[in-house]
């Protein structure tokens, strides 16, 4: 089976209804621009012995899209793309009236795409996808031109880089093709009103920006400070410190909570202090285990900086195994990005 057949079958299958997916991230819009290379095409002049082979120069592409992303990885989008100004580099034919003719090709496409984001636990997110839709292919040959609406399909592979929680930079490759279009061309002498059957296959490289409206808001810097205890009451023995997504740095608000914990340990006969780091479920379990330990170590270092003896503190990372708020996989939940400070007293 050819690559063209495989992509066509996959594109049709991907557009069928699918089962409900996991919790959503939200709606997004995107735009991109880049270059396209239209592959060499065979032209067949129907009801004549004439055929020709054309090659094309590089052209441009502009693209806008709107879609809906899910936290589990799949997303669906509608896309409008304009590939333009692929000038004919050469036309080879045994017919002298056709041989050497110039012109250009272009297309407008309306596509429905299904894609899958591969969560790496970093700012980089690879993605793959397929699409199907309709395209208007236009051919100008020797000053005569026509256009045809035909079924279109594409395969997509790319990567995005998160510039912020809402905005991402994208770079992708697309193989775009259509069923063979037909053109009615008033051509050279002897070929007037010829119907020409052609081909349209295209390679595209495109960079763009994608803005997601439903991305989670930034996590709170720290949990509210516990109410002041009554006079002579036992200082609290547990404190919670919260972190931003994919971070282990101590914010100013978190530093105040750690200071309260250090002061509390000094007011009681603290036997030991145990710091336990946690994460949400975004990212892989292995990555989250390392991140939770980094958070626990960051809190320990801050406690030592406030006068607590280092040999009095132990640390532990729980990764995503002990959630404060139960969620599904790959969900950014601010309440789960935390570290516990447990003060054990006599």
Looking at the structure, do residues 59 and 201 belong to the same domain, yes or no?
Answer: yes
Q: 303-308: list long-range contacts, CB under 8 Å, 24+ apart.
A: 303/258, 303/261, 303/262, 303/265, 303/273, 303/275, 303/341, 306/258, 306/259, 306/262, 307/262, 307/266, 308/262, 308/265, 308/266, 308/273
Q: Are 211 and 31 a contacting pair, CB within 8 Å?
A: no
Q: State CA 273 to chain mean position distance.
A: 41
- Whether 217 maps to a domain, the answer reads no
The tens digit of pLDDT for each residue in 255-309 reads 999 988 888 887 766 678 899 999 999 888 888 999 999 999 999 999 899 888 8
Using DSSP's 3-state secondary structure scheme, residue 228 falls into coil
Looking at the structure, do residues 60 and 13 belong to the same domain, yes or no?
Answer: yes
Looking at the structure, do residues 198 and 250 belong to the same domain, yes or no?
Answer: no
Looking at the structure, do residues 52 and 188 belong to the same domain, yes or no?
Answer: yes
- Whether 223 maps to a domain, the answer reads no
Task: Give me the domain span that covers residue 307.
Answer: 238-345
The tens digit of pLDDT for each residue in 78-101 reads 999 999 989 999 999 998 888 999
Q: Residue written as tokens 């930034």? A: 218
Q: What is the pLDDT of residue 20?
A: 34
Looking at the structure, do residues 198 and 336 belong to the same domain, yes or no?
Answer: no
- Whether 31 maps to a domain, the answer reads yes
Q: What is the pLDDT of residue 210?
A: 96
- Whether 301 maps to a domain, the answer reads yes
Tokens of 283: 């990212």
As a three-state string, the secondary structure of 115-137 is EEECCCCCCEEEEEEEEEEEEEE
Looking at the structure, do residues 178 and 280 belong to the same domain, yes or no?
Answer: no
Q: What is the pLDDT of residue 225?
A: 57
Query: Residue 343: in which H helix or E strand, if any?
Result: strand 338-345
- Whether 157 maps to a domain, the answer reads yes
- Whether 229 maps to a domain, the answer reads no
Q: Residue written as tokens 């994208």? A: 170
> What CATH number corresponds to the domain at position 15?
2.40.160.20
Looking at the structure, do residues 266 and 180 belong to the same domain, yes or no?
Answer: no
Looking at the structure, do residues 120 and 268 belong to the same domain, yes or no?
Answer: no
Q: What is the pLDDT of residue 224?
A: 57
Looking at the structure, do residues 51 and 151 belong to the same domain, yes or no?
Answer: yes
Tokens of 98: 């056709």
The tens digit of pLDDT for each residue in 211-255 reads 999 645 444 555 555 555 554 445 558 889 999 998 999 888 889
| Count: domains in the chain | 2
Q: State CA 209 to chain mean position distance.
A: 10
- Whether 248 maps to a domain, the answer reads yes
> How far, CA to CA in Å, does 237 sit from each of 26, 64, 92?
40, 54, 84
Using DSSP's 3-state secondary structure scheme, residue 235 falls into coil
- DSSP for 141-195 reads ETTEEEEEEEEEEEEEEEEEEESSSSEEEEEEEEEEEESPPEEEE--STT-TTEE
Q: In 25-105, which residue ranges form alpha helices assigned H by DSSP?
A: none
Looking at the structure, do residues 201 and 248 belong to the same domain, yes or no?
Answer: no
Answer with the one of 177, 212, 247 that is the final residue of a domain.
Answer: 212
- Whether 224 maps to a domain, the answer reads no
Q: Which of 161, 279, 165, 163 is nearest to 214 (CA)?
A: 165
Give the span between the Cα atoms of 322 and 343, in whole angstroms. Answer: 19
Q: Residue written as tokens 């409206």? A: 213
The tens digit of pLDDT for each residue in 54-68 reads 999 999 999 999 999
Answer with the one of 176, 197, 212 that is the final residue of a domain.
Answer: 212
Partner residues linked to 148 by β-bridges? 137
Give the span between the Cα atoms of 336 and 321, in whole angstroms. Answer: 10
Looking at the structure, do residues 200 and 332 belong to the same domain, yes or no?
Answer: no
Looking at the structure, do residues 271 and 199 belong to the same domain, yes or no?
Answer: no
Residue 209 predicted with pLDDT over 80: yes
């Amino acid at each position: 089976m050819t690559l063209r057949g495989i992509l066509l079958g996959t594109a049709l299958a991907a557009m069928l209804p699918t089962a409900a997916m996991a919790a959503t991230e939200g709606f997004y819009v995107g735009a991109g621009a880049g270059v396209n290379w239209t592959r060499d095409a065979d032209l067949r002049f129907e009801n004549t012995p004439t055929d020709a082979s054309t090659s094309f120069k590089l052209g441009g592409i502009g693209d806008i899209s709107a879609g809906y992303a899910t936290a589990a990885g799949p997303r669906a989008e509608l896309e409008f793309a304009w590939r333009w100004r692929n000038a004919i580099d050469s036309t080879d034919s045994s017919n002298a009236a056709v041989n050497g003719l110039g012109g250009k090709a272009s297309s407008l496409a309306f596509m429905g795409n299904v894609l899958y984001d591969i969560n790496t636990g970093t700012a980089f997110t690879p993605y793959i996808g397929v699409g199907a839709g309709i395209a208007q292919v236009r051919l100008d040959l020797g000053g005569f031109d026509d256009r045809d609406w035909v079924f279109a399909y594409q395969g997509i592979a790319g990567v995005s880089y998160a510039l912020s929680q809402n905005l991402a930079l994208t770079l992708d490759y697309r193989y775009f093709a259509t069923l063979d279009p037909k053109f009615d061309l008033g051509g050279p002498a002897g070929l007037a009103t010829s119907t020409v059957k052609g081909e349209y296959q295209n390679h595209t490289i495109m960079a763009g920006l994608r803005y997601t409206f439903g991305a989670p808001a930034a996590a709170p810097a720290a949990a509210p400070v516990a109410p002041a205890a009554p006079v002579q009451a036992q200082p609290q023995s547990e404190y919670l410190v919260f972190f931003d997504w994919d971070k282990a740095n101590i914010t100013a608000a978190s530093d105040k909570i750690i200071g309260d914990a250090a002061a509390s340990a000094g007011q009681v006969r603290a036997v030991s202090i145990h710091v336990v780091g946690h994460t949400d479920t975004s990212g892989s379990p292995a990555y989250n285990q390392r991140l939770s330990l980094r958070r626990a170590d960051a809190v320990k270092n801050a406690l030592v900086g406030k006068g607590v003896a280092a040999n009095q503190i132990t640390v532990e990372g729980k990764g995503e195994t002990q959630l404060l708020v139960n969620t599904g996989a790959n969900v950014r939940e601010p309440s789960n990005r935390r570290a516990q400070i447990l003060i054990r007293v006599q």
